[in-house]
Structures are given as C-alpha cells and as structure tokens.
C-alpha cells in the first residue's frame, strides 16, 4: 500500500501573505503587490528619460549633419519603456481596473477548442504573431519616401497613445464580455441599428484586409522552394509542440520552447539545401497552387483546437520574428548605418511621390497602419486572445506590450529602409510605368537587367527628392577581397545590388518587402560573424521568407477571428451560432470566411488587373476605419462604465484616426488630382476609351482602370458612410447615457475565480511562490489545460 504525499506548500512572510488574495475556498487567485519607489529605481528612470531625450533631440532637431540610425533604436526603446510603465499603467488603473478574483472566459468556458487558459508567454507569442502582419514591415518602408522623421514620430508616439491603447482596451473589454467579437460588442453597446451597420461593414473590410495580407504572402512564397519548405515545416513542428504541452508536460514551456526553436532553425537552414536538391522542384509552387494551400491551411487553423495548431505555431513564429528583429537591431547598433534620407523630403508636402501618391497628412497615417494603429489588431484583441487569457491583469503586457513589440518591428524596418542609398530605394519602389514616364523609356517585364538599371538611373535622377536640391544617384558599396571598400555609382550600382542578393534585377521590385530585404541584407552582411559579401544573398532570401512567415501568422489567426465575428452576427438571429462549442456552426462560418477572402485572392493571381489589385488601394483606409469603429465602441464603453472624466483616453486616438481616414477618403473620392482621386481616374480612363485611338493592349488597360477605379470609389463611399453612421449612433448613445445616468452594462456578471497565474510576462519572486502553491492546491483541469465540459455559458 502506497501513500501519496503532497508536496510541501511554500511559506510566506507576513508582508507576502498580506499581498495574496484568496477565494472562498482558500485558493490563491490574485496578488495585490506593494509598489515601492527606491533611489535605484528613480535613478534608472532618470537615465532612461535622459537617453530618450538625447535620441529625440538628435532625430528631430539636428540638421545639416549625418544622423546615425542607432538613435532610432534608442529613441524607440526609451519611449516604449516610459509609455508602458507610466501611461499604460495609468490607463489600467483609471478605465480598466482589472480584478483577478473574476474568472476570465478561458477559465469559465474552457472547452478546449476556442476557450483555453493559455500560458501567458505562449499567449503573448500568439497575440504578437497574430497582429504582426505585413503592415509593420511594408508600411514604414513605403513611407520612407517622405523622410525618416514623420514615420518615426508616428510609429513611436502613435503606438503610445493610440495603437497600444486600442489593443489593450479592446482586449480587456472583450474579455469582460465573454470574448465577444468587435462587431457584436458594437451592437450590444451602441444599439441594434449602429451596431448592425458596424457588424456588416467591419466584416466586409476585414475580408479585404485578409485578402491583401494573403496576397503579400503568396507573392513572397511563389516559386520559392526555400520559403515554402521553411514556412511549411512550422506546421508539423507546431503540432508537436501543441501535443507536448497538452499531454506530455502541461504548462512547462521551457523544454518545448528549446525543442521548437532548434527544429525551426534546422528548417530555416535546411531549407536552402532542400531548395537546391531534386526535392526543390516539388516545392516550386505557382501562385495559384499557393492560394489553394493557404485556403486549406486557413480553414484547418480556424477550426482545430487553438492549443493544437494555431497557438503553438504563432508562438513558434514569434521566435523567428522577434529573433530576426533583435538581430537587425543589434546589427544597426554594431554597423551604425547613416540615414540616407533627410528628415523630410519634398514628397512629404506634395502628391508627386513615386512610391505612393499623397502628402504627409493624411496619407502617412494610412500608409503606416500596423506599428502605430491598426484596426486588424482590434479584431484579434476581440477574437482569439480574450478567449485564452488567464487573468485580467495580463491584458496590459499582452495587449499594450504586444503592440509595443510590433511598433519596434516597424521602427527597425524604417531604419533599414532609410539607411539604403536614395537611388537604390527609389529604383526599387518606382513602378515600370513611373520609370518610363520619368525617363522617357519603355521598359517592361521582358527588358534585361541592364536595360532596367539604365532607365531607373535616368528616372531617379529626375526626381525632386531633397529640399537642398541635390540629385539622386544610385550608389552601392562593395567589399574588395583585401577588405577595402569600393563605391559603384549609376546603373552599375543597381546591377551590383542585384548580383549581391542573387536576383536578375532589383528595379521596380515594388511593395516594400524586397526593399526591406535589401536593407536588412546590407546591414547584416557587415557583421563579422554572420557577414561577408557572400552572405548578402542568404540574408536577402532569409528576409523574404521571414516576411512571409510574419504575414501567414496573421492570416490564420484573423481567419479564426473573422469566424467569431460571423458567428456572433448570425447568432443574433440564430442563437445556436453564438455557442462557441457548436462544431457545425464553427465549420460552416469558417467555410464562408475562407471562401470570401480566398475568392478575392484567387482573382488577384489569375487576373493581375483585377481582383485583389483592385482592392489593394483600399487596404490602408479600410484597416484604419476598422480602428475607428473599435475606438468608438471603447469610447462608448468608458462612458457607460461611468468613467466620463477619463473618456479622453480613447477619444484622443479616435479623433486622430477619424480625421486622417475621413480626409484620406474624401481626397480619394473627390480629388481632381489624377494621382489621388478615384473618380478623376475613372473619368480620364473613360475619356481615353471614348477617343477611339487606343490599340488593343492600351484599350484593355484603360478598361481595367475604369473598372477598378469605379469599384474603389464605390467601396470608399460605402465604407466611410457606414462608419460615419456608426459614429452618429455612438454619439446618440453617449448623450443618452449621460442624460439618463444610465449605469447598465453588457459585461458578464462577476464569477469567482478558482485559478492563479502571474500578472507579469516574467514572473516575480512572490508570483513564483504562489504558482508553486497553486500547483499543489489548484484545479487540475486548469493546471493541465485540459478542457472541461462546456458550460451553459456562451460568448
């Protein structure tokens, strides 16, 4: 006969015991730590503040001297630390007021499919991977045409007062409402009319966002065996990690993290060998084949239990994402490249930019979405994450902290882009049509690399970029065998760039992703241990694959989020769809979602002049209009909670977002500048069609322009009008709440928690002691993460 002995419980000092909050069963569920300011802490924050001030002074005020990109990294880190420690904590204490004695939806429902109490580190990885799509990589690179300062300021200060606040508050308020989607919360808080409009328009805009994200991923992986192999390997590795955490070592992430990381590195390194082997031919997939692969994967990731594929894969992706950005940041510190762009270029103040049309206001704020403020993030914050978060107090480091990490990605991408020579940057980002118009040439996809390089050199030389009037000339430095450097200029420089990165040509490689890859390769190949000219090609293709992995993680998570949005919407009329445990409903709504964005994506790869190419210009505005809806809903919630004196917290970013998106929409709809206005472009195309002088090829182009601009203009009117109606309905609801002193809320009733988890990403000493106690006295189902039988409660 054996007697089971229970591990000893930790002992607490009197001061520690006072900080522990227990439920009626005596189980620890929360901590009320005593914060103490010490001379060392004060000195630390003084140093951080001084460093940040020096960095911003250098970036914003120093003129006439070279600006080292190391100050981008210093300014960002110091500002993030201050924003997280002081402003985010202030917002948490005023309009959130987390209560860890209240059970989260993950604890209450815990059905093992969508609702699953997930280790905070794994969930942080999932959340970051889900929100970090193409935006923080591509947007800052495109916006570099305006200079380094506007983008840097918007990315860093925007995340502090706008993006981080939106993500954190939406996550918290969704968690308080059973993990409901943004659209459903809009209907509950604003009312049936405004809320229903929000439900429909947000879902429509989300399909555009998903299709564009998927298209960028397809373009990155098409005909790239290395990328397909490495990204594809993350799926079986994630399945292994999910099963390990579920059944072998529940809750123990150290070992599985090490194994997953080693396997990921092996897949990345081995991918190059596989691509060059006979097996590579089978992985040389066409864009169409990749579309079907992504649709199938998106469906599977959205219906399988989150712990099996989605969460571990996103956590695994975070290793590569964060690791690569950290390596890039370290590279910037070691190599210390100089910013080649001035603080402001002439394109910040006119619509003549060759990369995209539009002046600094409002188009900087539309081009750089993710990284500063993104509506897609609100969908994730009201989608998967609130259904998996363990404790309410974790919302700050997951919601706000996750957004800070994405913002740092955007800063690193911007620094890499502005460190490139101006001639190389603009040659890569000007379309063939723009090059032909500026240079008076007729290059096409069949032109040779030298022909493209000559035309691009002529074109960029005619650009009025710099306020001092200096001419733009492509330049590229190469390292000689004896270690000395040699400067190459003109068309030869563009040809040398292509040779170094292993491409036939880098001219007109638009979209931002190839530019970032060249910028990263140019920095990393100068680091002695991992560098050398021979490594340029490796780092370039590694960066392309890295970007594809970044984006795919957002596609799978947002597909699941869109399913929640659709389920909640249908659930208003067919209540069973609102039950998160009803498998038929989840499969049906997922099929509708993937069919919607998959059809748009398929149109894009089969008809280059239509489909997603038609919708791409709407991506930035649609994304920011979703953010406007999210911030509107949060503003109404803050008022209805009785926090009227603090309503400026969500109202400030809402005003900024509405001002920029509505102005951009107005210009895109009504401007008579053919570089901006959809209807002006439509009228010009119709005039050319009516001239009767076009050949067959030109006729097809103008017909596509007329069709595309008509769709773009119509959808722009529909989207901005719908969001305006939501704003009006929200204003009426706020006025009624204040007038009637309405204290009602759509929050779920308080339910006592029986679970404990630390509030910090890295557990503090007392938190580790309480964790050890809970491991002995806690609920085994919650400890192991095994799903309980679904409760009657639904989201």
Angle, helix 449-461 to helix 491-501, in steps of 10 degrees:
130
Rounded to an integer, what distance in angstroms lies between the CA atom of residue 349 and that of residue 330? 33
| Cα distance between residue 767 and residue 760, in whole Å | 9
CA atoms of 298 and 315, how far apart (whole Å): 17
Tokens of 557: 């998570």
SS3 assignment, position 582: coil
- Position 271 scores a pLDDT of 82
Q: Give 727-737 pLDDT, tens digit per residue.
A: 999 999 999 99
Q: In the numeric block, which tokens belong to residue 97?
A: 């007021």
Identify the helix (H) or strand (E) that includes residue 487. strand 485-489
* Phi, psi dihedral angles at 647 (to 5 degrees): -65, -20
Say which residue, 657 or 309, is predicted with more confidence.
657
* pLDDT of 786 strictly over 60: no
Exposure letters 285-311 (e unless 16+ CB within 10 A, then b): bebeebbeebbebbbbbbbebbbbbbb
What does the pLDDT look like over 482-500, one tens digit per residue?
A: 777 889 999 999 999 998 8
473 vs 130: CA distance, rounded Å:
39
**What integer pLDDT is reported at residue 780 of this predicted model?**
75
For residue 147, the SS3 value is coil
pLDDT of residue 455: 94
Whole-angstrom distance, CA of residue 184 vs CA of residue 713: 28
Quick check: 57 pLDDT over 60? yes
176 contact partners, CB below 8 Å, separation of at least 6:
392, 747, 748
CA distance 594 to 573: 22
Does position 641 have pLDDT exceeding 70, yes or no?
yes
- Cα dihedral 17/20/23/26 (nearest 10): -30
Residue 47 to residue 255: CA distance in whole angstroms: 36
Q: Which residues 6+ apart lie within 8 Å of 431 measured at CB?
A: 354, 508, 510
Give yes or no for residue 100 having a pLDDT over 60: yes
For residue 559 the two structure tokens come to 């597909």
**Distances, alpha carbon 588 to alpha carbons 114, 200, 298, 542, 563, in Å:** 16, 18, 14, 37, 9
- Whether 84 and 350 have beta carbons less than 8 Å apart is answered as no
Q: Are 215 and 615 in contact (CB under 8 A)?
A: no
Contact 533, 481 (CB under 8 A): no
| Structural tokens at position 629 | 């809806």
At residue 289's C-alpha, the angle toward residues 322 and 379, to 5°, is 45
Q: What average pLDDT score do residues 8-16 get?
A: 90
Question: Which pLDDT tens digit goes with each residue over 187-232?
Answer: 999 999 998 899 889 999 888 888 888 887 787 677 778 778 888 8
User: What's the pLDDT at 573?
Assistant: 85
Task: State residue 386's pLDDT score.
Answer: 96
C-alpha span between 190 and 172 (Å, rounded) = 18
> Which are the contacts of 709, defined by CB distance < 8 A and separation ≥ 6?
678, 679, 681, 682, 685
Tens of pLDDT, residues 541-569: 778 777 777 677 778 888 888 888 888 88
Question: pLDDT class for 703, splitting at 50, 70, 90?
Answer: confident
Strand partners, 752: 102
Rounded to the nearest 5°, which phi and psi values hold at 28?
Answer: -70, 135
Digit-coded pLDDT (tens) for 419-472:
999 999 999 999 888 898 899 888 877 788 899 999 999 999 999 999 999 999
Over residues 119-165, the pLDDT tens digits come to 999 899 889 988 887 778 888 999 999 999 999 999 999 999 999 99
For residues 422 and 354, the answer to whether their CB atoms sit within 8 Å is: no
Helices H / strands E in the chain, number of each: 33, 4
- SS3 assignment for 346-404: HHHCCCCCCCCCCCHHHHHHHHCCCCCCCHHHHHHHCCCHHHCCCCHHHHHHHHHHHHH
Q: What mean pLDDT, rounded, does the chain reach?
A: 88
Which of 402, 432, 523 is CA-nearest to residue 136?
Answer: 402
Cβ 542 vs Cβ 530: under 8 Å: no
- Tokens representing 650? 């969500």
Contact, 393 vs 171, CB < 8 A? no
Ramachandran bin of 466, using left for φ above 0, alpha for ψ from -120 to 50, beta for the remaining angles: beta
Enter the tokens of residue 680.
């002006």
Beta bridge partners of 22: 28
CB 401 within 8 A of CB 120: no
- Cα(132)–Cα(244) distance, integer angstroms: 26
- CA proximity to 757, closest of 768, 747, 749: 768
What value does the mean pLDDT take over residues 408-413?
93
Inter-residue contact 487 to 468 (CB < 8 Å): no
Higher pLDDT, 236 or 512: 236
Backbone angles phi, psi at 30, to 5 degrees: -160, 170
31 beta partners? 20
Contact 69, 419 (CB under 8 A): yes
DSSP 99-122: -TTBPPHHHHT--SSS-----HHH
629 touches 186 (CB < 8 A):
yes
pTM, rounded to two decimals: 0.90
pLDDT, position 792? 39
Tokens of 700: 């097809």
Burial 647-683 (b: 16+ CB within 10 A, else e): bebbbebbebbbebbbebbebbbebeeeebbbbbbbe
Q: Taking a C-beta distance cutoff of 8 angstroms, is the pair 351, 358 a contact?
A: yes
CA atoms of 493 and 514, how far apart (whole Å) = 17
Q: Are 213 and 554 in contact (CB under 8 A)?
A: yes
- pLDDT for position 785: 46
Q: In this predicted model, which residue has the larger pLDDT, 743 or 422?
A: 422
Beta bridge partners of 487: 477
Cis peptide before 362 (omega within 30 of 0): yes
pLDDT above 80 (res 616): no
pLDDT tens sequence across 379-405: 999 989 999 999 999 999 999 999 999
């Amino acid at each position: 006969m054996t007697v089971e002995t229970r591990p000893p419980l930790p002992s607490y000092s009197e001061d520690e015991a006072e900080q522990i909050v227990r439920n009626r069963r005596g189980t620890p569920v929360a901590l009320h730590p005593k914060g103490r300011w010490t001379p060392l802490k004060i000195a630390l924050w003084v140093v951080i503040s001084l460093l940040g001030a020096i960095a911003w002074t250098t970036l914003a005020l120093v003129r006439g001297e070279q600006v080292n990109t190391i100050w981008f990294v210093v300014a960002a880190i110091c500002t993030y630390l201050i924003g997280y420690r002081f402003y985010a904590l202030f917002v948490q204490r005023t309009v959130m007021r987390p209560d860890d004695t209240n059970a989260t939806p993950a604890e209450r429902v815990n059905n093992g499919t969508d609702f699953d109490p997930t280790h905070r580190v794994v969930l942080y990885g999932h959340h970051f991977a889900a929100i970090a799509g193409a935006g923080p990589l591509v947007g800052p690179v495109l916006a570099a045409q305006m200079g380094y300062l506007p983008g840097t300021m918007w990315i860093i200060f925007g995340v502090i007062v706008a993006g981080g606040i939106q993500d954190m508050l939406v996550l918290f308020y969704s968690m308080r409402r059973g993990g409901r989607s943004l659209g459903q919360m809009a209907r509950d808080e604003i009312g049936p009319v405004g809320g229903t409009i929000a439900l429909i328009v947000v879902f429509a805009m989300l399909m555009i966002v998903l299709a564009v994200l998927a298209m960028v991923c397809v373009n990155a992986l098409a005909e790239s065996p290395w990328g397909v192999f490495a990204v594809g390997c993350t799926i079986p590795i994630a399945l292994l990690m999910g099963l390990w955490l579920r059944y072998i070592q529940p809750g123990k992430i150290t070992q599985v993290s090490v194994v997953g990381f080693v396997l990921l590195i092996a897949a990345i390194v081995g991918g190059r060998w596989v691509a060059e082997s006979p097996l590579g031919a089978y992985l040389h997939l066409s864009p169409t084949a990749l579309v079907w692969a992504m649709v199938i994967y998106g469906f599977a990731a959205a219906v399988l239990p989150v712990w099996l594929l989605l969460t571990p894969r996103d956590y695994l992706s975070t290793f590569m994402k964060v690791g690569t950005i950290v390596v890039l940041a370290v590279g910037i510190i070691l190599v210390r490249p100089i910013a080649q762009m001035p603080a402001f270029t002439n394109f910040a103040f006119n619509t003549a930019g060759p990369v995209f049309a539009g002046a600094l206001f409002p188009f900087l704020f539309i081009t750089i979405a993710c990284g500063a403020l993104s509506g897609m993030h609100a969908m994730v914050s009201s989608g998967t994450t609130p259904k998996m978060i363990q404790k309410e107090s974790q919302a700050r480091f997951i919601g706000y902290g996750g957004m800070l990490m994405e913002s740092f990605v955007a800063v690193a991408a911007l620094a890499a882009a502005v460190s490139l020579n101006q001639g190389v940057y603009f040659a890569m980002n000007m379309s063939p049509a723009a090059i032909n118009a500026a240079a008076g040439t007729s290059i096409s996809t069949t032109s040779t690399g030298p022909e493209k390089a000559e035309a691009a050199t002529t074109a960029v030389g005619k650009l009025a970029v710099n306020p001092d009037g200096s001419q733009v000339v492509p330049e590229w430095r190469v390292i000689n065998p004896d270690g000395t450097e040699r400067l190459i200029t003109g068309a030869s420089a563009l040809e040398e760039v292509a040779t170094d990165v292993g491409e036939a040509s880098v001219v007109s490689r638009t979209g931002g992703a190839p530019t970032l890859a060249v910028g990263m390769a140019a920095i990393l190949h100068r680091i002695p241990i991992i560098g050398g000219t021979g490594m340029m090609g490796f780092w370039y293709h590694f960066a392309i694959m890295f970007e594809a992995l970044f984006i795919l993680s957002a596609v799978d998570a947002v597909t699941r989020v869109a399913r929640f949005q659709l389920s909640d919407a249908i659930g208003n009329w067919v209540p069973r769809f609102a039950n998160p445990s009803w498998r038929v409903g989840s499969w049906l709504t997922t099929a509708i979602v993937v069919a919607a964005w998959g059809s748009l994506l398929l149109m894009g790869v089969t008809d280059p002049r239509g489909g997603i190419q038609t919708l791409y210009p709407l991506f930035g505005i649609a994304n920011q209009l979703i953010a406007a809806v999210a911030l509107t809903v949060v503003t109404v919630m803050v008022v209805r909670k009785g926090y009227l004196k603090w309503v400026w917290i969500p109202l400030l970013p809402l005003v900024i977002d509405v001002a920029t998106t509505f102005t951009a929409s107005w210009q895109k709809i009504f401007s008579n500048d053919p570089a901006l206005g959809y209807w002006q472009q439509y009228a010009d195309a119709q005039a050319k069609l009516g001239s009767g002088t076009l050949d067959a090829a030109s006729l097809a182009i103008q017909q596509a322009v007329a069709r595309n601009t008509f769709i773009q203009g119509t959808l722009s009117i529909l989207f901005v009008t719908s969001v305006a109606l939501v704003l009006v309905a929200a204003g009426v609801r706020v006025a009624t709440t204040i007038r009637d002193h309405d204290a009602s809320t759509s929050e779920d009733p308080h339910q006592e928690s029986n679970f404990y988890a630390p509030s910090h990403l890295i557990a503090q000493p007392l938190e580790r002691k309480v964790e050890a106690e809970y491991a002995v006295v806690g609920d085994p189902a919650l400890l192991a993460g095994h799903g309980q039988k679904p409760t009657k409660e639904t989201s």
